[in-house]
Amino acid sequence: MGLDARIENGQRIIEGWNSVFKALSAEPRRQLIVSLLDAPSDQSVPLPESAVNPNVPADPNALRQELHHQHLPMLADRGFINWETEPLTATRGSRFDQVATVFKALHETSTDIPEPLVIGCQRLEREQQEYFGE
């Protein structure tokens, strides 16, 4: 592989990771990805409830607006999800695995995650409790 090809490949990889981490940089988007990960792969999830952190209730009308105008278009433009407006739902997109793999890796190593990043995340708390038998 020539230098130009290596640079181009490196830039593509960097852009891919930047896209994944930007998509996961907001809580509603993270919650939606986890909800889709927990659902059967061919099933849609209802919104806005699938994008809410259960520990931090949100105003459903405000969240619906944020999802419609900001979060869902961002995720859909990257191919991570598909969404419908009536009723407001989301399904896995063609590139869903690129964002899902981050959560799969986190869940597989949940016992190694520092406590401040676990407390308040029901799924990680449950996985640590199961592992440590609490």
* Alpha-carbon span 102 to 104, nearest angstrom: 6
Where exactly are the structural domains of the chain? 3-132
3-59 pLDDT tens trace? 787 778 888 888 888 898 999 999 999 999 999 999 999 999 999 999 998 778 788
Can you give the pLDDT at residue 119? 63
Q: What is the pTM of this model?
A: 0.81
What mean pLDDT is reported for the chain?
86
Q: Any idea which architecture 3-132 has in CATH?
A: Orthogonal Bundle (1.10)
Name the more confident of 9 and 91: 91
pLDDT beyond 90 at 89: yes
Can you give the pLDDT at residue 54? 79
* Structural contact between residues 72 and 31, judged by C-beta atoms closer than 8 angstroms: no
Q: Which of 128, 102, 106 is nearest to 115 (CA)?
A: 128
Interval 76-89 mean pLDDT: 96
